[in-house]
Structure 1
């Protein structure tokens, strides 16, 4: 993008205009270096008026030295002509290291330069650092041998470890799996296989609660131990808090368990929450809340950079926040390493005609919502539907679709009122019209 194009636009995350040199320039240089790089134009006002800049070689030399001494970087500084006036152009590259100015760190938010503080600053410093790969002075005596041996059996059965690995000692296995680095056990080794990981990571646990409503708790499980233990016991806790019915099928009178939610979806949701949580955030537990009509899975830490909520439901790369943990669960045959877990949740819910799950980035983390029935009468009332519209949604849930004529007969109303009601249901995103005109036209629940 050339300067003419820049002047037609506005200041943004990579462009800043300044009339003269002042302290704010050095803060902006820090911000650009800590973000994606950028360009500062000195001699142009915020309103993009070309004021010009009087410079000397001595002044440019002093400015360069000041930037180097105060920020430790070497920008490219040029004098360019704009409307026959001199303008100073300072180009800053993205830095591989954090850049501070007078002990403070800055970033760009839109077209503003802001100081990073608190959680934002902490996140900035650990960016690119994998928690599970960090090492400490842990002891092999803290490792649960039976959990390791169980994992190896699972990995051999899945075909992802060799059978001869079953005979290796734990230290050798851990070195092969990068769970020991430079002779030291990693955080991954302790959280995956430790006897008592909460000795070091007090909130690295799963909390499973059964709620009657938003404030009334009728069941609570606090599940500690290593991640294999947490996954196993959390799944059992969830099963104890949801309903199951039985169907007798076939000549053999085989009993089939029908759970409120498919166990595959529950297991994937649980694995996703435990594996992808941000373990740097030591003050937050992984939480699963079970209500009468829905389940909420929450893990601290949002989506990895470069992945959006919209992309989750499509083919997307697997970006692991905790690559060692992910790899161990992959070897055990519990997950795939291709970002396919979300797809399996969606498919398993679709197979039993449950609503698609909802995904949200909220509370500095990631949420997964599974619902028995998205369009309950209570929810439809909250959405502002009248009695006729509510009856129609319930009808479609039972029959799969509804026509204009069926709606009129169901509610004993005329065609005009029916059309108005359908328009409301479409505007609210509840119904989808199939067909354009004529007898072949009908309505279904959107997304079903």
Structure 2
């Protein structure tokens, strides 16, 4: 991928993580991104140019959230720009919009639990970028589900690294795009000793979660990241709150209390928040403290929330 050329138009050195006090030309030469004729090679354009798709179709990342089936695409986004900026943009987007943390408690300590460790996801994404075949014109594709993530790129691994087991054994680093990999290495984003997979293993261990599974063939590299057990245990509690307003107990009229507008407001608040206090209930409903406490008691009796005593008084936590 590193043989084609393009004249540089933008300031490039600002994209590196650490500031440098040299001119762009010197920086690009030190990164070995200038050919014998003084032109920037394609790796320079992909890493730093503001719109690499102008020169290489498909040099972006596509993200989609899927519901009950592979055809149930709920929403999607695309991440464009220099490759060196796409990594952090993608990680931030996935871990805010696509994969919100579920909340757990150890005593009074609040713990945010994601399905898959962010550091492991980032390493997998970096691997996808440096191993991708950019002549294929296909974007990296990330498919997020309730309990798993797929990351696909149209790339290649060395022939001897054709299985998950082999990838997580000690091996040499042979990126498909060595010039591009060197840019990410010099920026401090990856290591040159093939430790990326060991970093993935270490991050997964922090969640006591499974290692990602790799499927490598002529169609590209597909990585399956499964949710850790603790996250799977927390999903039913979230679903209970998400579905309470449409629960058949409400629709049948048997729980008339739940149809009252103030309780609906409280339940809607609990969909995006893991806890509520009486004061917050007063704020969002406009009702008195006594009325709010009665509404919260109804939700406690239904097993939607539970009352916990803290230094701040009663806090109602979503179960």
TM-score normalised by length of structure 1: 0.48
The 2-side partners of 1:195 and 1:361 are apart by 31
Which aligned pairs between 1:32-431 and structure 2 lie closer than 5 A? 131=1, 133-136=2-5, 138-141=6-9, 143=10, 145=11, 148-151=13-16, 153=18, 166-182=20-36, 183-212=38-67, 213-239=69-95, 240-246=97-103, 257-282=112-137, 284-309=138-163, 310-362=165-217, 364-373=219-228
Kindly tell me: are residues 171 and 358 of structure 1, through their superposed partners in 2, closer, same or farther at Cα, counting changes over 3 Å?
same
The 2-side partners of 1:256 and 1:151 are apart by 33
The 2-side partners of 1:152 and 1:268 are apart by 17
The 2-side partners of 1:186 and 1:322 are apart by 12
Kindly tell me: are residues 135 and 363 of structure 1, through their superposed partners in 2, closer, same or farther at Cα, counting changes over 3 Å?
closer
Larger Rg: 1
Indicate if the aligned counterparts of 1:330 and 1:337 stay in contact, CA closer than 8 A: yes
The 1-side partners of 2:178 and 2:148 are apart by 30
Indicate if the aligned counterparts of 1:302 and 1:364 stay in contact, CA closer than 8 A: no
The 2-side partners of 1:346 and 1:232 are apart by 20
Where relative contact order (Cα < 8 A, 6+ residues apart) is larger, the structure is: 2
Q: CA offset at residue 321 of structure 1? A: 0.9
Q: Which runs of no fewer than 5 residues in structure 2 stay unpaired?
A: 234-319
The 1-side partners of 2:40 and 2:109 are apart by 48
Kindly tell me: are residues 305 and 363 of structure 1, through their superposed partners in 2, closer, same or farther at Cα, counting changes over 3 Å?
closer
Q: Secondary structure at the match of 2:197?
A: helix
The 1-side partners of 2:151 and 2:159 are apart by 21
Q: Secondary structure at the match of 1:321?
A: coil
Q: Which runs of no fewer than 5 residues in structure 1 stay unpaired?
A: 1-130, 155-165, 378-448
The 2-side partners of 1:358 and 1:320 are apart by 19
Q: CA offset at residue 189 of structure 1? A: 0.6
Give the aligned CA root-mean-square deviation in angstroms.
2.5
**What is the total number of aligned residue pairs between the two structures?**
228
Kindly tell me: are residues 268 and 152 of structure 1, through their superposed partners in 2, closer, same or farther at Cα, counting changes over 3 Å?
closer
- Return structure 1 stretches of 4+ with deviation > 4 angstroms: 246-250, 253-256
Q: Secondary structure at the match of 1:153?
A: coil
Indicate if the aligned counterparts of 2:162 and 2:216 stay in contact, CA closer than 8 A: no
Q: Secondary structure at the match of 2:18?
A: helix
Q: CA offset at residue 245 of structure 1? A: 3.4
The 1-side partners of 2:13 and 2:46 are apart by 12
Q: Secondary structure at the match of 1:347?
A: helix
Indicate if the aligned counterparts of 2:208 and 2:228 stay in contact, CA closer than 8 A: no
The 1-side partners of 2:218 and 2:175 are apart by 20
Q: Secondary structure at the match of 2:142?
A: strand
Kindly tell me: are residues 367 and 180 of structure 1, through their superposed partners in 2, closer, same or farther at Cα, counting changes over 3 Å?
same
Aligned to 2:287: none
Q: CA offset at residue 248 of structure 1? A: 7.3
